[in-house]
């Protein structure tokens, strides 16, 4: 079971929060993740946050691919 989408935590109260993406909001359970704060992105699966998304790693991944694109065009 692997459907999980990155959403931004916009509200937090104890173990529950509200996540948002593209103007869509949903309640999310934060029990499985530690140290997540409002403004962080989390991977949401079946109503739970299962991991904090590492934004710098996301950027790194994209940067590498962009370099690949540029290299290919030379």
Partner 1 sequence: MKYIDEFRDNNLARALARTIARLAEGSPEITLMEVCGTHTVTVFKHGLKDLIPNNVTLLAGPGCPVCVTPSHYIDKAIAYASLEGVTVATFGDLFRVPGSSSSLEKERARGGDVRIVYSPLDALRLAQENGDRKVIFLGVGFETTAPLIAVSVQEARRRGIRNYLVFSAHKVMPPPMEALVSDGELRIDGFLCPGHVSTIIGWGAYRFLSQQYHIPCVVAGFEPLDVLEGIWMLLRQIRNGEPRVENQYRRAVREEGNPRALALMREVFDMADSEWRGMGIIPGSGLTIRDRYRDYDAEANIEVEVEPASSHPGCVCGSVLKGVKTPFDCSLFCRVCTPEKPFGACMVSSEGTCAIYYKYSDRA
Partner 2 sequence: MEPERILLAHGSGGKLSYDLIRELFLPPLHNPILATLADAAIFSRQGMRLAITTDSYVVDPIFFPGGDIGKLAIYGTINDLAMGGAEPLYLSIGFILEEGFPLEELRVVVNSIKDAARQCGVDIIAGDTKVVPRGKGDKVFINTTGLGAVSEGVELSVDRICVGDKIIINGFIGEHGIAVMTQREGLEFDTPIKSDAAPLWGLVSQMLEASHGLHLLRDPTRGGVATVLNEVVSGGDFGIRLEEKALPIGEGVAVACEILGLDPLYVANEGKLIAFCQPDEVEHILAAMKRHRYGREAMVIGEVVATPPGKVIMKTRVGGTRLLDMLTGEQLPRIC
**Residues at the site binding partner 2, with contacts judged by CB under 8 A:** 1-3, 5, 20-27, 44-46
Name 29's Cβ contacts closer than 8 Å, sequence gap at least 6. Answer: 15, 16, 47, 48, 49
d(CA 19, CA 45) in angstroms, rounded, equals 12
Closest distance of CB 46 from partner 1, Å:
5
Q: Is 18 in the site for partner 1 (CB under 8 A)?
A: no
Check: CB of residue 42 under 8 Å from CB of residue 28.
yes
Q: Contact residues for partner 1 (CB under 8 A)? A: 1-6, 8, 21-22, 29, 31-34, 41, 43, 45-48, 50-51, 53-55, 57-58, 60-62, 65-66, 68-69, 72
């Amino acid at each position: 079971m692997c459907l999980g989408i990155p959403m931004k935590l916009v509200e937090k109260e104890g173990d529950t929060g509200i996540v948002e993406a593209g103007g869509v909001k949903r309640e999310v359970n934060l029990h499985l993740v530690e140290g997540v704060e409002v403004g962080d992105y989390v991977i949401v699966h079946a109503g739970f946050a299962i991991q904090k998304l590492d934004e710098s790693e996301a950027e790194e991944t994209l940067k590498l691919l962009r370099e690949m694109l540029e290299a290919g065009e030379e």
